[in-house]
A and B are shown apart, each in its own frame.
Chain A
Amino acid sequence: MTLPILLAVFAIPTISIPFVYFTGKKSPKAAAIFVALIALINIGLVLSIVPTILDSAKHVYTESYAWIPTLNSTRFSLFLDGMSASVALISLVLIFVAALFSVNYMAGKKNLPSYYALLCMLSVGLVGVFLTSNLLLFYFCWELMLVPAYFIVGEWGYRNSYKSAFKLFIFTHAGAVFVLLGIGAIYYLTGTTEMFVAQAQLMTAAPDIIKWILIALTAGFAVKMAVFPVHMWLPDAHSEAPAPMSALLSGVIISAGAYAILRLSFGIVFPAVGEAFGTNFLYALSIVGVITAFFGSFLALVATDIKRLIAYSSIAHMGYIMFGLSLFPIALASGNPVLLASASAIAIVGTILHIVTHAASKGLFFLTAGGVMHQTEERDIRKMGGLASKMPFTTVSGTIAALSIAGAPPLACFISEFLIFIGAFQIIQIDNFYILPTALMLVATVFSLAYSLRFVSKVFLGTSKDEAGAEEAHKDASEHIKEEAHKILDIPVYMKISLGILVVLVVLIGIYPTFFMNLIQTVRFG
């Protein structure tokens, strides 16, 4: 009898939702710490399983409970392998950090008990997506991720954000409909909702239907990933959400789309499609990836809203991940299981690692932007500048985030991008279609450096616009007093703690990614 560890990861935040709410009634700060503690406990629980995953023969840890016996005895089955463990860990870290960040950032806003309760609910859905091996439960969690996000963006967002929230809801829900179609078709074909059981049975199904299932699932997940041309919901929602929510949305929620493509589209459905279609499908993904990377970079290059810039950079990075996904070894198409530790799968290790590193870096990026906005009450980067001397802590963490996003070593995103590219060159050997996409993706890194440096230069470096106008203000005494009142200070302590954690993580993964790489390498597909 194993301990119900994964069930606890599910149950603890679920049960805590009302308690978080009532704690929040007494003190919002206590509620924030409550949510952070739940995330911390869950991190501990997931970490306690990691040795089991590394040591066991199949590198998978499973738990299964009776759930809906009437529906073909659907079970509440949970599992954890190297990939889901890494992504779940980074999601929990971001929830922990976002909760701490909210203490200062959300202070003084209305309805905070609901905010923290929704955050707790979000963490159930978010982590559940990575933990489950049951398609029905997966879809349940997938939607659970969306509902709290809608309310958080709408209620506590910037300006009339219910419109942005609605946009977020409509788009991702439309995507979810496609996912539901795909899942329904899998159930129809195989009569089971267990992913890994379905996988073996799909191999015998007619390839024509499988083709459409693959397209439906991938298109649905692509909306969550916000790749071009279904990206339109992202810039509005991510830039208008409160900063902790932006960090979660951009950091892990859109990456959940990438995870789902790997897990469902590639892990379950892909081995069953014919090799010819599979290859072309991957080509299409790589084209989408390249276009997305350039599109996001171009828009980030001229964006003037601090959070829109980062939101566009998220689109660009989803392009990288999409490109990495398209490198899924052609070998899989023939139905052979591919162990990621094999040399030809470096690109996939890199892609999964990029989900992790991008989450940490982008979370840090959005939280820094949130800190800057909170302290300066400004969101137009053309009106910023000279913050380096006033907000040294924020400047250091923001610069680290920007450089990591730009792929500068020794920071986290560099190592994963490096692995993606090295893997891409290996794929070129097998299939020379990838020469052009790889070369273009390499060029795209120059643009990501350009927009990151533009961010650092405009926001932190240079001279403050207030100082430039200070002499005029001096003439008017009341203006001068106003300037004093607006004296910009560095961010408060809880923000510092949360930024500090992510800074350490980004630098640490950059120098020594071995923990995550060892974990990811154990994943087996097919």
Chain B
Amino acid sequence: MMLEEFSAWLVWVIPLFASLFVPLIGKYSDKARNYFVVAIAAVTAALALSLVPSVWNGTGQALTTGSVSWLPGISAGVYIDPLSVLFTCLIGFFALIIAVYSIGYMKGEDGLSRYYYLILLFIGSMIGLVLADNMLQMFIFWEMVGLCSYALISFWYKPESIRAGVKVFIMTRIGDIALLAAIGILFLMFNTLSFRGVIDGIQTGGFNMDYMVIVAFLVLGGAIAKSAQLPLFTWLYSAMEAPTSVSALLHAATMVKAGVYLLARFILIFSVAPTLISALQPLWFPVIAWIGVLTAIVGATLALTTTDIKGVLAYSTVSQIGFMMAGLGAAIDGAASVGWFASLFHMVSHAFFEGLGFLLAGGIIHAIGTRDMRLMGGLRKAMPISFALMAIMIITTSGLPPFAAFFSKGLIITSVTDTGNLLQIILLYATTAITFAYVVRMFSLVFMGKESEHLQKQHVHEAPRVMLVPAFILAGFCIIWGLSEPLVASFMHVNLAEGLLGAFMNIETPIFLSLLIPTGLIAYYTYYKGYKGVRNVAAGKNPLSTLLNHAYFFDDAYNLIGKGLTGFSEGLTRVENALFGRYPDNAGTRVSHAADPGQATTLKRGPSSSFRNYVAAAVVGFILIAVLMILTGALGIGV
């Protein structure tokens, strides 16, 4: 076993294994448990980093293949290539950041052993997901991160967080069945579950093109649900019931990116056969691009109207992942296209600025105890460091040069421009303008203006140092990440046509900057000069505000479906009970065990009247089964 394979195993096995010890250590000392988790996260980050050199010096192809026998016919293994190592490093890095941040943010909460157990379980599963060498392994971890997300969202056992957890789990499960179907079809064609085997199978050309297109769309379905894209994006907003540290780790930096990883991985796999890529060009790539573009603008407009500070960040994440999807959709020549690299590059820079936003929001919520931005305002005096860091965050998010998103988002827009779809380009530019507007709005509502009555009543303090240091580190990365573009490109073994300076020379930059001026003016007049026009539209009763306040009615539709299903089930139960049941199901009486010892004897009456009913029911059932069997035989269904 090669050295890097060794560390690629350890990097996810260690957190998974260590998670079991968290409750044990937590029994004896809270402090020891917290530091244990930080230590494990540090080890994970170091191991992740140790994978970089061999990949950097490699050819860009996968280094290893599955080698540990697991199920009959299936070996477990790790898949080390630039894509998986990029994700591994990001997850390891964020694991450490969040482990440190949690010490401050979660201080004094109940059930912290459970929290840290789930955090370590999540870190191990998430790294296991990106390093998995076969699809069964990947699918197991794919579901496990969903499980951790569910458990962490309902961490506080509040009714709304429990509901949110269930909603998130069920909505993402819809994508999971699509992914499972994709895996099934791939297995049917190639008789293997390993990525290597699928790549070999595609290379030798032994595949059915129609099946492959179906697989591609099913994979897209899985990615849409996991990465909160249209039409299944609403769960991410509900997921904000989780503690903010969890939102930063799962719902901004890592778990929601699993869909991006999945698509990037499969584009990489499909790229080995040019015929396959050209079969996907007419429909699959444009669909991804359209979903991405539409999600970007839908997310941005919703971020513009919500009053929940974490809601802004959630919709912003939806919108930014939309950008990544647009980049992947522009990768019409497979993994060699700019779009593929651009979306991964933006994936990392988004992790930095959105993560930073969540860490700061966590500090604010921690300090003033509400998520409602209408109750905030004027926080710049009480929280000057958060104020400065948030300024970096909003500059990065809006894509101003020379911070990270300027390069990454610019690269995505360039790649979409190359595909030449004018409407998509216009929508993306509009989204960047709205992005600028919503971050300025958030910034103004939270930090500018006068202190609200809510704040005047309490003594607001700056976040503790243990929460600020991680934020500082992320802010540093927000500034420098964009400049590392050539390094990252060479790590990913991608050739970029233009260098760093090219980004400034591009035609896109002046268009983008000129768009910010009117947006900035509107925001300025609305939030500083007290001009009521925009606010009146937002607060008034008009179709636009109704549409936005209902988040484009997606959730209302889903609730309707849910209600319909429940109603149907209740009807079915009533029919069932009326026909065969002896009690109404909702009798709900107490168990009388041990309370009435004579009960068993008093009720030991022989059955009488119900006898005939049961026999009749049994006969009816038999006849039904027999009829079904004879009918299928007689009609010859499917023959």
Contact = CB atoms under 8 A, between A and B. Distances in A.
Interface of A: 108-111, 154-156, 158-164, 166-167, 170-171, 174, 178, 215, 219, 222-223, 229-230, 232-233, 235-236, 276-277, 279-281, 283-284, 287-288, 295, 298-299, 301-305, 308, 341, 343, 373-374, 377-380, 382-383, 386, 388-389, 403, 408-410, 414-415, 418, 421-422, 424-426, 428-429, 431, 433, 438-439, 442-443, 445-446, 449-450, 453-454, 457, 461-463, 512-514, 517-518, 521
B173 A463 contact: no
B614 interface: yes
Given A378-B591, A388-B157, A446-B174, A409 B621 contact: no
B210 interface: no
Nearest to B588: A380
B169 interface: yes
B628 A425 contact: no
B617 interface: yes
Given A288-B628, A299-B576, A409 B144 contact: yes
Contacts of B139: 409, 418
B166 A108 contact: no
A13 to B, nearest CB: 25
A328 B614 CA distance: 32
Nearest to A304: B586
B187 A422 contact: yes
Interface stretch (B523-531, B532-540, B566-574): B566-574
B605 interface: yes
Nearest to B147: A408
A236 B605 contact: no
A514 B329 CA distance: 40
A431 B621 CA distance: 29
Given A414-B143, A422-B183, A513-B71, A162 B157 contact: no
B184 A425 contact: yes
Contact of B71 (A383, A410, A421, A517): A517
16 contacts: A110-B600, A162-B604, A163-B582, A174-B618, A215-B626, A215-B629, A219-B629, A232-B576, A280-B637, A284-B628, A288-B625, A373-B593, A418-B139, A453-B165, A457-B165, A514-B71
A343 B190 CA distance: 12
Given A162-B604, A343-B191, A421-B184, A219 B626 contact: yes
Contacts of A284: 628-629, 631-633
A235 B639 CA distance: 36
Contacts of A276: 636, 639
Given A422-B187, A463-B157, A302 B614 contact: no
B638 A283 contact: yes
Given A215-B626, A442-B177, A446-B177, A236 B637 contact: no
Interface in B588-638: 588-594, 597, 600, 603-607, 610-611, 614-615, 617-618, 620-622, 624-626, 628-629, 631-633, 636-638
A424 B185 CA distance: 10
Contacts of A219: 622, 625-626, 629
Nearest to A279: B639
B618 to A, nearest CB: 5
A163 B173 contact: no
A343 B589 CA distance: 51
Contacts of A378: 590-591
Contacts of B165: 453, 457
A333 B606 CA distance: 47
Nearest to A173: B618
A299 B632 contact: no
Contacts of B565: 298, 301
Given A171-B614, A305-B586, A379-B588, 9 more contacts: A163-B607, A174-B615, A280-B633, A295-B572, A374-B593, A403-B147, A422-B187, A445-B173, A450-B166
Contacts of B10: none
Interface string B109-130: 0100000000000000000000
> Of A298, A428, A445, which is in contact with the most chain B CB atoms at under 10 Å from its CB?
A298
Nearest to B182: A425
A299 B572 contact: yes
B453 interface: no
B179 to A, nearest CB: 10
B154 interface: yes
Contact of A457 (B143, B166, B591, B611): B166
B79 to A, nearest CB: 18
Contacts of A166: 607, 610-611, 614
A408 B180 CA distance: 13
A408 B146 CA distance: 9
A156 B579 CA distance: 26
4 closest A-B pairs by CB:
A380-B588, A425-B184, A433-B638, A230-B621
Given A162-B603, A171-B618, A408-B147, A418 B585 contact: no
Contacts of A304: 585-586, 588
B144 A410 contact: yes
B181 interface: yes
A193 B605 CA distance: 39
Nearest to A517: B72
A202 to B, nearest CB: 19
A463 B159 contact: yes
B170 interface: yes
Contacts of B159: 462-463
A308 B614 CA distance: 19
Nearest to B150: A453
A342 to B, nearest CB: 11
Contacts of A517: 71-72
A429 B210 CA distance: 13
> Of A156, A301, A433, which is in contact with the most chain B CB atoms at under 10 Å from its CB?
A301
Nearest to A275: B639
B188 interface: yes
A442 B175 CA distance: 11
Contacts of A462: 157, 159, 162
Contacts of A410: 140, 144
Contacts of A418: 136, 139, 180
B632 A280 contact: yes
B163 to A, nearest CB: 8
B173 A308 contact: no
B597 A229 contact: no
A380 B586 contact: yes
Nearest to A163: B607
B274 interface: no
Given A159-B603, A446-B174, A281 B633 contact: yes
Contacts of A379: 588-591
A301 B566 contact: yes
Contacts of A174: 615, 618, 622
B185 A425 contact: yes
B20 to A, nearest CB: 11
Nearest to A162: B604
Contact of B611 (A170, A295, A415, A446): A170
A162 B633 CA distance: 40
Contact of A229 (B566, B614, B624, B633): B624
Nearest to B598: A110
B617 A232 contact: yes
Given A280-B637, A280-B639, A304-B586, A453 B170 contact: yes
A8 to B, nearest CB: 31
B558 interface: no
> Of A295, A305, A409, A429, which is in contact with the most chain B CB atoms at under 10 Å from its CB?
A409
A332 to B, nearest CB: 17
Nearest to A428: B188
B537 to A, nearest CB: 39
A281 B629 contact: yes
Contacts of A167: 610, 614
Contacts of B629: 215, 219, 280-281, 284
Contact of A450 (B140, B170, B606): B170
Interface string B377-405: 00000000000000000000000000000
Nearest to B567: A302
